[in-house]
Structure 1
């Protein structure tokens, strides 16, 4: 498995006078849709069609959103887990904090063992 990268020159915002450095940025080599994933999964099975898999993936997406919206951590076994992460302004005391200080919510993904193993074996090549 090989991941392509490009380079981006960036400065340090905390030290504007410091020389800029080059950093790697992962380059996408395409996309995979729900439909193509469902066909790929169905091809590995003799008992389900791509339509069956697509229906399950659609329901999975809805269940993930519903459970995250209710504040639950959603664990997918060896695949990984999803949870919510909040960004807020600080308050001087606990009593002065209100939900109005919460600025955004993001979804956090923590990869499981299969994805961690994939990350550990990646090779990199500079894109053209």
Structure 2
């Protein structure tokens, strides 16, 4: 269940337009590696400490592979890939590492996540 609340927003492209109300998803908390390791260990024969070690190793390797410019595929979860924002240059040969303003993460949801998005249920929180 995804909890939502109503929030008022103005139109940044038309500051004279009336504000409108939009649904905003409300977080129901955070789950950390320790909790994930506990949950996974209860679903299989692997101990919690082993699950935690695997998650930490996964974290390390994902970061390392992304630093090398690779796309990291996480099965049905999706893919992670580095992207960059850069200054526009007049000539192609003027583009260099100095053109890069910053890096960001691109995430493309995999099949299982896209399917999950299609069947979500929502509940409005009032107050």
Provide the TM-score with structure 1 as the length reference: 0.92
Could you tell me how far 1:19 is from its partner in structure 2? 1.5
Moved over 2 A (4+): none
Question: 1:27 aligns to what?
Answer: 26
Q: 1:66: Cα distance to partner?
A: 0.4
Instruction: Give the aligned partner of residue 50 of structure 1.
Output: 48
Instruction: Show the counterpart of 2:99.
Output: 101
Task: Give the distance between the partners of 1:101 and 1:127, measured in 2 at CA.
Answer: 45
Which structure 2 residue ranges, 5 or more long, are not aligned? none
- RMSD of the alignment, in Å? 1.2
Q: Distance in 2 between matches of 1:24 and 1:61?
A: 33
Q: Deviations over 1:24-66 (max 9, x none)?
A: 11100111110010010010002x1010000000000000000
Who is 1:110 aligned against? 108
Taking the TM superposition and a 5 Å limit, the aligned residue runs for 1:1-128 are 2-46=1-45, 48-128=46-126
TM-score by length of 2: 0.93
Could you tell me how far 1:96 is from its partner in structure 2? 2.1
